[in-house]
């Protein structure tokens, strides 16, 4: 325990650690969460053509969110054909009085996507109007039947047929119906953007801090002293690993708690029981918004732990802080860069690398074919990174001891 505390204090005494944590918190919590809710994403807009305020939005996100939630609550309940018809009518009525107010109050972009996907035959090809402007509300019927047909068509277009199609539809059958309707803009921001963007950014700061954990001994010319201590290289290696994992957990806790507190302040808990299908109608995940958020945070934490193991392994294998940092960043960002140029099968394999894949796979129908069985991607995306991290830990000790003996 004493050795761990010494390594822990040494890590936090570094300016690079303090600066990394500060910048990470500033970027992800202050700008990416607090200001995003208050202005960037949810501030009201006076003019949707010229914009107003920062990024076109006013600095009144809290009040604007409450207005949107209040409207959604006025028609909250089971999402039925009648609900869809009422939303379209309300939108038309509001647009005729105050278009900017209607666009600001109703999740019309998502609603319009639903109309396009579920009632494609009602579209007027060549029209410059969006569907919600001219679809006849009375024709918006058979919502759940049309959604099921849209999912089946989507799978067919993706060549997901036979046993794979049957497997995915079995997952979809577990989705509770009818859906619960509510304001989904905030949940879309959290599940489709905020958490996913956070893991990409935290990878950078983890690499900056942990890449020097072992390589820094060579950089500071202290590696030879390790062998002369009463603890020896092995105990120190374990202390460094625990220190790296503790820092990883702390960074995750600081960011996630900051984001959750911000979410509760601006949104409260309203809408937690809505299904994730309210964000992407053809999603097959049998999850509500709260379950989806828990999954994405779990995916991020597990990915960070797995990535920390990889970074510490690289740090133990090289003597240069700079090289350790470059290689650590390459683990995450090279697959992202080359992904569009790779075969689809290889893309899916690379997504299993910690922090390379995405927690937003809960909105997708990706699968892996393993030993003759299909496995939905969200399952593997939280299992494999954890295994990678576990495998890396003993290799760190072995590799660093070999370095010290050379």
Judge if the upstream peptide bond of residue 178 is cis by omega within 30 degrees of 0. yes
Cα-based angle 74, 75, 80 (whole degrees, multiple of 5): 175
pTM of the model as a whole: 0.95
CB 119 within 8 A of CB 134: no
Q: How far is it, in rounded angstroms, from Cα 259 to Cα 264?
A: 9
Q: Pairing mode, if any, of strands 373-376 and 367-370?
A: antiparallel
Q: How far is it, in rounded angstroms, from Cα 60 to Cα 37?
A: 9
Q: pLDDT tens digits for the chain (406 residues)?
A: 888 999 999 999 999 999 999 999 999 999 999 999 999 999 998 765 554 445 578 999 999 999 999 999 998 889 999 999 999 999 999 999 999 889 889 999 999 999 999 999 999 988 889 999 999 999 999 999 999 999 999 999 999 999 999 999 999 999 999 999 999 999 999 999 999 999 999 999 999 999 999 998 765 555 444 544 555 678 888 999 999 999 999 999 999 999 999 999 999 999 999 999 999 999 999 999 999 999 999 999 999 999 999 999 999 999 899 999 999 999 999 999 999 999 999 999 999 999 999 999 999 999 999 999 999 999 999 999 999 999 999 999 988 877 655 5
| H helices present in 268-367, as ranges | 289-317, 321-338, 344-350
CB 10 within 8 A of CB 34: no
Give the burial string for 368-385 (b: 16+ CB within 10 Å, else e). Answer: beeeeebebbbebbbebb
């Amino acid at each position: 325990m004493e050795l761990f505390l010494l390594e822990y204090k040494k890590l936090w005494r570094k300016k690079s650690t303090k600066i990394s944590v500060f910048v990470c918190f500033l970027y992800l919590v202050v700008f990416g969460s607090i200001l995003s809710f208050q202005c960037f994403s949810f501030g009201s807009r006076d003019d949707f053509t010229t914009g107003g305020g920062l990024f076109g939005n006013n600095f009144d996100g809290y009040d604007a969110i409450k207005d949107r939630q209040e409207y959604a609550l006025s028609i909250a309940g089971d999402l039925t054909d009648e609900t869809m018809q009422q939303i379209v009518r309300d939108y038309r009525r509001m647009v005729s009085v105050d278009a900017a107010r209607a666009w600001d109050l109703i999740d019309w972009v998502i609603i319009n996507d639903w109309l396009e996907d579920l009632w494609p035959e009602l579209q007027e090809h060549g029209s410059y109007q969006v569907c919600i402007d001219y679809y006849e509300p009375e024709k918006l019927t058979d919502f759940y039947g049309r959604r099921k047909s849209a999912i089946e068509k989507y799978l067919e277009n993706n060549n997901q047929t036979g046993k794979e199609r049957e497997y995915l539809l079995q997952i979809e059958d577990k989705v509770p119906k009818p859906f619960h309707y509510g304001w989904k803009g905030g949940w879309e921001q959290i599940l489709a953007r905020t958490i996913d963007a956070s893991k990409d950014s935290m990878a950078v700061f983890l690499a900056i801090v942990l890449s020097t954990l072992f390589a820094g001994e060579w950089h500071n010319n202290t590696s030879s002293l390790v062998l002369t201590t009463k603890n020896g290289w092995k105990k120190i290696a374990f202390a460094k690993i625990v220190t790296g994992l503790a820092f990883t957990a702390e960074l995750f806790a600081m960011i996630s708690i900051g984001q959750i507190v911000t979410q509760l302040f601006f949104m409260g808990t309203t809408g937690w029981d809505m299904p994730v299908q309210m964000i992407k109608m053809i999603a097959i995940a049998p999850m509500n918004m709260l379950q989806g958020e828990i999954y994405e945070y779990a995916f991020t934490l597990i990915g960070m732990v797995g990535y920390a193991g990889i970074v510490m392994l690289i740090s133990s294998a090289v003597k240069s802080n700079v090289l350790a940092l470059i290689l650590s960043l390459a683990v995450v960002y090279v697959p992202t860069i080359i992904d569009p140029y790779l075969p689809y099968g290889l893309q899916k394999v690379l997504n299993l690398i910690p922090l390379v894949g995405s927690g937003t796979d809960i909105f997708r129908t990706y699968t892996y074919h393993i030993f003759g069985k299909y496995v939905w991607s969200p399952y593997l995306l939280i299992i494999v990174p954890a295994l990678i991290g576990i495998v890396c830990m003993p290799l760190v000790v072995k590799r660093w001891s070999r370095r010290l003996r050379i």
